[in-house]
Amino acid sequence: DVKVTQSSRYLVKRTGEKVFLECVQDMDHENMFWYRQDPGLGLRLIYFSYDVKMKEKGDIPEGYSVSREKKERFSLILESASTNQTSMYLCASSGSRASTGFFGPGTRLTVL
Amino acid sequence: QQQVKQSPQSLIVQKGGISIINCAYENTAFDYFPWYQQFPGKGPALLIAIRPDVSEKKEGRFTISFNKSAKQFSLHIMDSQPGDSATYFCAATHYSGGYQKVTFGTGTKLQVIP
């Protein structure tokens, strides 16, 4: 059974804090993605990675960075969290150069 | 820029009825059109998908209708059940910069009432 896990289901942080969101997949997929989901806006791609130590900007990368040191793990970093980054964050992975794939359960981040 | 427009935003359907969700796109480079189903507390899961060279694809109670000339596609859920209550996203993909990119619609929250 394929699995994408995210380190936290709910997270509350203060403005200015550094935030790490972790994602792990057990399918040996090359490709991993970070999206944010907001009501009325659907899913928007933040960053993606097609290989270890490789990253590409998505549609809304501002205020975020990522790290992929191992094939199975893809981290999203908010260097200095702001209230407009309050959102649901979804990680996904896929085994081909397609962005459609398997999603994790999401992390609901609240920045106060 | 919203490249995939989805409607309605929410939908209430009686059990046994037909649920219809519509999407429209502008970019003619899109070459694959998946639909995702998301239950509360879960990530989206691929439900059904279609390529633009066919006009319809059916999987069980779920059917995608595709109109290439109108640049529209829709999801029909026949004999809707309370267990179908979820948020549905349409999407469209195309290759850009060597990678396949996905553009999602804004989502439709479906509630099927007994």
pLDDT for B83 equals: 97
pLDDT at position B56, please? 96
Q: How far is it, in rounded angstroms, from Cα B113 to Cα A43?
A: 27
Residues paired with residue B92 on neighbouring β-strands, in sequence order: B103
Which residue in this structure is represented by tokens 């792990």?
A24
| Shortest distance, CA B100 to any CA of chain A (angstroms) | 5
**Res A98 pLDDT > 70:** no
Phi, psi angles (nearest 5°) of residue A60: -135, 65
- Residues of chain A whose beta carbon is less than 8 angstroms from a beta carbon of chain B are 4, 9, 40-45, 48, 50, 56, 90-92, 97-106
**What's the pLDDT at A97?**
61
Sign of the dihedral through C-alpha A15, A70, B100, B8: negative
Higher pLDDT residue, A77 or A99? Answer: A77
Of the candidates B79, B76, B77, B87, the one whose C-alpha atom is nearest the C-alpha of residue B111 is: B87
* Residues of chain B under the 50 pLDDT cut: none
CB contact under 8 A, A40 and B106: yes
pLDDT of residue A35 exceeding 70, the answer is yes
Give the model's pLDDT for residue B92: 93
Q: Which two tokens stand for residue A33?
A: 């993605």
CA–CA separation, B77 vs B19, rounded Å? 5
| pLDDT score, position B20 | 98
Return the pLDDT at B47: 95
Cβ-Cβ contacts under 8 Å, B106 against chain A: 40-42
Cβ contact (<8 Å) for B99 and A100? no
Q: Report whether A19 contacts A77 (CB < 8 A).
A: yes
Q: pLDDT digits over A41-72, tens only?
A: 889 999 999 889 899 999 899 999 999 999 99
Whether A92 shows a pLDDT value over 70: the answer reads yes
- Residue B96 confidence (pLDDT): 75
User: What's residue A78's pLDDT?
Assistant: 97
